Structure 1
């Protein structure tokens, strides 16, 4: 898996890991922040969240066009600086007035622009490492490893956000209670209903607050908002680390920081010889556009993790776990599980007794570590809604070697599916993921009912429903995302590489903007019907890509 990969892959992957850690720390709490601080409704939050994600993934098109002209490296370093400014603005505590909103939206604009300069161009450089014919066969594996590194950063992000939230609230003698922000805004706005008022009084007493209700509501909102601001500051630190890695190890990938224009100017390629015919160029671009059309609906479904799936975690999922269920809610256990998986693979793949011995020791140590940590955990572990977002990156990191092993075996047998076919299978699996949530949601009250009246503890569902959904969606993601990026880097006409990689992100941007549509349904509609919309979208997308499979495989 790691054998024979160029050093530049690891340098670029680690630089991206730092940036993604900060981004996903921010994303884990972003929708919660919008509703807690500003009192936005689910529909308003969905619009802001979807628009932000849309711009984050649209701007790589602009970044790619600029990189095709000025160079990839310049755009990457500029992007880190711009993102840092954005996260700094977002980390500054403000009021919920017009100034606070202006700073928040300004921060989102800077983060979007900076990501546009950074994200796609870094991935183009990864692809460029494998333009050498001797390395071209390792391209798909490289992008799987690169994607795994992204998720290493994302794995720790929800825990970082949770730790900061709990620390700041504890400083004011508060604990996190998901129903307080909404009820507090209703009280301050004068829209709270009698049942909600009774519930808010009970929650206030449980927090040990002795002042009047208005002071409690204002103070709790201010402290929770500040906790989220400090969580955003984590992203600033992670970007400094990312920049340090990128600059320190630039020598390992400097040769990949060359666009087509620079290659022609240096004489390393013949512009005429390297250029495809107009017909071939058109055929490749059309194939890419067809794939882009399909992945729109995957990202529309997948990125519900930061919106409606977070709402589901907050409003409908048990607030604590006991027994073996506690294992997954300590990031140390997840890290040890990853070590165990990789040690097991290394044990069976090692060709020397020394390698097998080291791998065996690590495997046993990881299992013992998990058992020891389990016995030292509290009997009951409280859950904050953002913590569920650690399961997707955990599954990506843990399952990447499994995925690579399976496809390596199929490749040796000459039966490995093409990248477009993997994307089609990914869409089918994504539909299965939301079927799990649809079943879990049967008989639950609507979100509007929960917002105004609360929900009885006996109706809260097991966290395992959400965890299972994340597991299935991860299988879909591993088939679709890294394979899609690899497909773009391989099929894109040389002189349009930056633009086509940007096109992949535009498709992602459209899908992310459409995330808001599901948020608009989050109100009076039954939950199983909300998830069914996503199931239908995934199934139709799978049907479409399989219908054009021959055309896609012709150019891949």
Structure 2
């Protein structure tokens, strides 16, 4: 897959993978943490989550300006990692449920957002610089697809890591995870618990520790403290992954060193040498490219508003509506070893059918057989009834990215050979339509379900098959592959040379606006029927798709 690409692609992909593993480990448990620890309701949680995500994706615009005008890409990226490390370290420190605890939590989020702003967009700009070389320019879309897949390899392991750590430290206290307990404990403490909720709270307390129902206040405080502490350990994982990411980036710098040059630095070098290597655009051409990029940015706002419900309302749905135990073949999808065997076996099959060398075909076949045997072995070793936590559902999007990326790359390569490959803007439009279909799945599957307010009063509903969310994540992943890596490639290709870092930041700033808009659906989470809630996202995605198709000629003109 990395054949005929610059070596720097591997290094930048691995550096990004390490950082994203830590980030998605944190994100998998973040909303669960703040609701359990501080008792925030869904509207408050939605605001915090949306503002945080907005800054995480808006600040790369500032990070791009800093790199373009002052530090350069490499130094800005390293500074970002150091700042992020401080943020994750603060989150890993246990605190009380008081003002100091909240200040530390919000301070940590601020550092993570600032650090990500310096890191993320500039790493993408650095990657794009390597493909300005005519030798590699035709492989730009493929490079961003590979880069994007590596992001999701890190994200795939994150939910399982978060779940394993939280379950381990809860177990050390003699407790097991129950999603309903924190909310009921807060309701009991503030006197808003219903009769049905009190009965459930009493039952859950007895299930955790015999005799604990005699003092529900003490039990509730103890459970929240231990659960919050287990989340702190989960946040600490990000610190270790950042160290690994930084070491990879620094040690193998020579593989991307030639691309670590901003337009300002290249111009100064050209003037000193009396040469001219930098592409020159007229003011009119620069303006037209920036306008085209801004139009694309406006469209992707709606995609990210819909897509990043995975960390908010779709997590609420997993916690409150989806069964918390699975049996039979459903267990296969919730075991990390079994899912790994699927990935390994799948890539073995790809080697069998695509390799031109007989030796590689045989190796691929052997890998597939071993993976199948391994999958059967791990599946048989699972307990007959497997408990699942809400964060585990967040593994499905990166899992599908890893599986589907080679298929999408193969499809677009085949279409390219036939001269029928859609342009990057057209792929983005198709992605919006597919995203709408994903929420059609949720809308249909939610018909007849009680409202979130009704579920909260009772403690939990937990009656919906996990396959509803899995199917939704599958559809949204296809949409993401049409939109996100293609968008990154489009920005890299179209951005005026002097604004490369800033335009990559602009793409992420548009993502930030979409992430902030995520909260709109969170605010509606309560009394509204769920099928109607998801229907809002369906309509928004269709409108956005219609807009991008209406300006398609203009976008395709600047992309030539």
If the TM-score is normalised by the length of the shorter chain, which range does it land in?
over 0.9
Confirm or deny: 8 A CA contact 1:275 1:495 kept in the other structure: no
Q: Does 1:42 align with 2:42?
A: yes
Aligned counterpart in structure 2 of residue 375 of structure 1, from 359, 380, 388: 380
The aligned residue for residue 345 of structure 1 is 350
Distance between the aligned counterparts of 1:273 and 1:456, measured in 2?
61
How much does 1:274 deviate? 2.2
Query: Residue 2 of structure 1: CA displacement?
Result: 2.5
Does residue 461 (structure 1) correspond to residue 448 (structure 2)? The answer is: no
**What whole-Å deviation, never above 9, does each CA across 1:67-86 have from its counterpart, x for those lacking one?**
00120001000000000000
Query: Alpha-carbon deviation of 1:454?
Result: 3.0
Q: How far apart, in 1, do the equivalents of 2:432 and 2:318 lie? A: 24
Are 1:479 and 2:479 counterparts?
no
CA distance in 1, matches of 2:67, 2:373: 49
Aligned with residue 262 of structure 2, among 250, 259, 263: 259
Does residue 501 of the first structure (1) align with residue 504 of the second (2)?
yes
Structure 2 CA distance, aligned partners of 1:538 and 1:377? Answer: 40
Shift of 1:318: 0.6
* 1:21 corresponds to 2:24: no
Kindly indicate whether residue 9 of structure 2 is the aligned counterpart of residue 5 of structure 1. Answer: no
Instruction: Compute the displacement of 1:190 (Å).
Output: 1.5
Q: After superposition, where does 1:206-355 map in structure 2 within 5 Å?
A: 206-211=207-212, 212-267=215-270, 274-355=279-360
Q: Please say if residues 326 and 387 of structure 2, whose CA atoms lie closer than 8 Å, have aligned partners that are also in contact.
A: yes
Alignment partner, residue 491 of structure 1:
494
**C-alpha displacement at 1:526, in angstroms?**
0.5
CA shift at 1:208, angstroms? 2.2
> Partners in 2 of 1:297 and 1:412 — Cα distance?
32
Across the aligned residues of Structure 1 and Structure 2, the Cα RMSD in angstroms comes to: 1.1
Matched, 1:130 2:135: no
Confirm or deny: 8 A CA contact 1:299 1:511 kept in the other structure.
yes
How far apart, in 2, do the equivalents of 1:470 and 1:11 lie?
29
Q: Structure 1 length as normaliser, TM-score?
A: 0.98
| Aligned: 1:200 with 2:201 | yes
Equivalent position to 2:455, from 450, 459, 472: 450
* Residues 120-159 of structure 1 mapped to structure 2, 5 A cutoff: 120-159=121-160
Aligned-residue offset at 1:210: 2.0
User: 2:455, 2:461 within 8 Å by CA — same for their partners in 1?
Assistant: no
More off after superposition, 384-393 vs 169-178? 169-178
Deviations 1:167-217 (A, max 9, x none): 111111111111100000011112212221111111111112423111000
Q: How does 1:83-102 map to 2 (within 5 A)?
A: 83-102=84-103
Counterparts of residues 50-65 of structure 1 (less than 5 Å): 50-65=50-65
2:544 matches 1:525:
no
Instruction: Say if 1:33 and 1:225, in contact at 8 Å, map to a contact too.
Output: yes
- Cα distance in 2, alignment partners of residues 37 and 427 from structure 1: 36
Deviations 1:350-399 (A, max 9, x none): 11111111111111111111111111111111110000000000000111
Per-residue displacement from partner, 1:95-126 (whole Å, max 9, x unpaired)? 11000000000000000000000000011111
Query: How far did 1:275 drift?
Result: 1.9
Q: 1:21 to 1:269 in 2, by over 3 A?
A: farther
**Separation in structure 2 between the aligned mates of residue 338 and residue 193 of structure 1, nearest angstrom:** 46
Q: Does 1:408 align with 2:430?
A: no
SS state at 2:326 partner: strand
8 A Cα contact 1:76 1:121, kept in partner = yes
Secondary structure at the counterpart of residue 274 of structure 1: coil
Report if aligned partners of 2:179, 2:319 keep a CA contact under 8 Å in 1: yes
